[in-house]
Structure 1
């Protein structure tokens, strides 16, 4: 059978930044109507390559051809005019606007804002499976529907080539299945997808071809039906696909965190965002919290960290001698000083100062503690030295500790955060999506660091949308639904499918899975 003609050809793409070559002579050919996956480690150059294709950055060398014609994409508007759309990993939606307003904003000249626009929007919503009222505020949508709004947005602007950046990062298995059904249906209509992902099993399930990039250079393009997940991982990082599997028990009887009757009212309302939450985490234990995004996991973590004030209930941290300290009314810094490490759900908002150097980010949350502080003064030399240690120990790929955090790839930012939080001997680690958006190599390192800390007696509260991660790392899993803990699952026996069902409401009776 004759192969379809290329719709995108990147030839010899090279992009340099001060101190680093992000892309070096990269080649990528995407054919019409296919799903073409691009895989590689964090920092391998995938994001830079896609930003070049979407007109957000300009290559230093190389050419871009769309539908056989060499083009210069100076900005995203040029890319859109060339029929290229991009759905970013972090959605680019205005929460305070409706679905319709988000789609039409900036595209009013295409179909107006009247009947033609409504008809066009209705057709695209049907095509992508977006079954919500167009007048619904985006802030009220779940993550899967927000993603569909993003897809509708790029299709409304005429895209026939759609870049999907880590599209399954925050989806439960059933939502991933629904997304893949949408992609396949659109494929049959002639749409082309470039699929960026670290989840190699999903890549093999959806992609027609896979191009692997390692350290900024194309390694090769393969047919996913002819290679195993392990072989793809070896192409990416030169090692086997890591597993979060942890079966030896290190759980002790010593309680570290006690949460009792915790309640959080919605702002300006009596409605409970958290309702009667009670649990304990013991030394050497990983307690996993599963739940579809928007069911209270974020609010639970932020309440424990003192970023939100509980309406009722209590939070206690217990020291090695059994002395309990009431944290309920303390601020975030006091809780950190009491021994809580915190890997934030959104590292760019709550974990890092992107414009500041790595050594300054090492200090965040620990500005009153050794080795980076002596009394009330910051010891810059000590901070720089300890940052260099973290860079080496956690394989943070950077030209040096004076580089701004925003210049690192997402995975290297995350390794810096994990290294910082585990470097100050915490008694409790709150890890919220610790490997979201990182590659298999970074995953392996972060999992091993958590396992090692657990063996050394650290108590861990783990929140993750990666069900394999939850099952592999946790000693016990609790499922959160509509602000309540509704089901307990045994990681030794529960399957991702069973856990996904409980997360969507099948486990409301409180049974143990």
Structure 2
């Protein structure tokens, strides 16, 4: 008898969900053959894992067959990464069994998992920053003398095969976040694994890169490899998933053999409610900030005047960038990764001095301000790389959330940790940061919960007047994305000007008032998001402008 999806009583789901996710709904997934009758490549039975007081995984079971892409879904902190890390040997299970190709499998370490043909792309990068792309890819795979020429040829062959472009001689520390993710993916693919585990691999990729990676997943599966894909993006599930499993609170709560058809029920199982439709133009129109009658005219939230950045080699990375963001306005920056977005974010967050130009926040020049001075001036910053710039992973959650306001908790030279803990707990509840307590190490949180904690800190900054949010929903599940943009809209309602940088064009168009496209450091085009022409925006992202764009630029 075929097993039905595991939804037990008391889970708070719709009563009809059990019928909607029957394993026998469909004979095949999108673009893939029906599941083979052969024994599973990987089988997990009753896996459990506890970290201190946190039960991260409880009695989880899953079967993955050769030649299928199996999507693993769940909210941030649901246990997805823990399950993947058990398979890859990062942690050992407290209970349960794993079999690989019919044999008992108990990996003692990641090296042991690799020797069994399992490769994993982690949520957080595992690269050596001051080494080249090529050396990172060869690390641990070559014995004896390194043949870098042969290694570079192999990378070129992988690029041609999968469409994941890399410069083998570039240093990892000089790459953008998206480019580093590509290195991680290629690092796994060059091993030609029989089981590929991808933990949120598309969170930092651009739309065309995502499509290329999903094609890679399909191609690898068609060659007989089993693929476990952890993702929050519903379009990806519909595109490649042969089967799907939903985790909530560390338990398996739903399974589907036809994810593309069952997507609504899968979302309900994941977040325990229906996903609201994205806000459209009416929501933006009603959100426009209006100062109270008789109040003084407010300065622009952000005025960037001719910002230019040249790197150490004299290459222009940001070219004469000029922008005005009004109080209460959300302006979005779109573009293919590596076209000046990172440099713009670094300048506006005080991490990089512009070569030329100035910028002002509410009339106050901040061109040479430090990050501390920016915070004091009411500038919230959510950087694209939270680990490097937004948190201290060795400190606890409360300390990270209160990092920019520690002075408030000083009593006679000492920190009032009880008061700090109480306020941090309140923010954790408001922003749905899931952790056993405010005292747990920040590095122990899932990537999504780390991001929500950073957002909680920056959005509640005292006297917040301007918010720079770079990739604010990276690594978040669909429910959390909805909540994050709700908080950003609420800030705009209060008169905060927002500059939003994201590779998620659909999100930008649904949230922002205007969108600007950067190409090779220059503003290629700009338009209101209401009624925006996606084809025109796509052309700008590719560096193409038509006569209409030029006419608009020179018009008086």
The reply to whether residue 337 of structure 1 matches residue 337 of structure 2 is no
Mapping for residues 453-472 of structure 1, pairs under 5 Å: 453-472=491-510
The reply to whether residue 415 of structure 1 matches residue 452 of structure 2 is yes
Aligned to 1:274: 318
**Whole-Å Cα distance in 2 between the matches of residues 100 and 394 of structure 1?**
40
Aligned to 2:367: 328
Deviations 1:285-337 (A, max 9, x none): 1011112222221221221121111222111122xxxxx21112222211211
Shift of 1:146: 5.0
Q: Which moved more, 1:175-184 or 1:194-203?
A: 175-184
- Does structure 1 retain, via aligned residues, the 8 Å contact 2:166–2:183? no
Mapping for residues 283-362 of structure 1, pairs under 5 Å: 283-318=327-362, 324-362=363-401
Q: Which moved more, 1:108-117 or 1:190-199?
A: 108-117
Aligned to 1:195: 229
Aligned to 2:246: 212
**Whole-Å Cα distance in 1 between the matches of residues 316 and 149 of structure 2?**
40
- Does structure 1 retain, via aligned residues, the 8 Å contact 2:162–2:212? no
Aligned to 2:201: 167
**Whole-Å Cα distance in 1 between the matches of residues 494 and 178 of structure 2?**
38
- Does structure 2 retain, via aligned residues, the 8 Å contact 1:34–1:193? yes
Shift of 1:116: 7.2
Corresponding pairs, count = 505
Mapping for residues 95-174 of structure 1, pairs under 5 Å: 95-109=129-143, 113=147, 123-130=157-164, 134-135=168-169, 146-174=180-208
Shift of 1:168: 1.7
**Whole-Å Cα distance in 2 between the matches of residues 326 and 167 of structure 1?**
39
Aligned to 1:451: 489
Unaligned runs of 5+ in 1: 319-323
Q: Report the aligned-residue RMSD.
A: 2.8
TM-score, length-scaled by structure 1 = 0.90
Aligned to 1:385: 422
Aligned to 1:487: 525
Change (3 A) 1:131 1:382: closer
Shift of 1:155: 3.4
Aligned to 2:271: 237
Deviations 1:64-105 (A, max 9, x none): 111111111011111111111012234433454444333222
- Does structure 2 retain, via aligned residues, the 8 Å contact 1:258–1:281? yes
Deviations 1:411-433 (A, max 9, x none): 22222221221222401111111
- Does structure 1 retain, via aligned residues, the 8 Å contact 2:245–2:252? yes
Shift of 1:227: 3.1
**Whole-Å Cα distance in 2 between the matches of residues 358 and 308 of structure 1?**
27
Change (3 A) 1:495 1:3: farther
Shift of 1:377: 6.5
Shift of 1:191: 2.1
**Whole-Å Cα distance in 2 between the matches of residues 303 and 376 of structure 1?**
34
Aligned to 2:261: 227
**Whole-Å Cα distance in 2 between the matches of residues 222 and 498 of structure 1?**
38
**Whole-Å Cα distance in 2 between the matches of residues 44 and 442 of structure 1?**
13
Deviations 1:43-65 (A, max 9, x none): 00000100110111110001111
Unaligned runs of 5+ in 2: 1-33, 291-296
Change (3 A) 1:376 1:48: same
Aligned to 1:260: 305
TM-score, length-scaled by structure 2 = 0.84
Where 2:224 maps in the other structure, the secondary structure is: coil
Deviations 1:216-246 (A, max 9, x none): 0011220235634322210101112245424
Where 2:246 maps in the other structure, the secondary structure is: strand
Aligned to 1:321: none
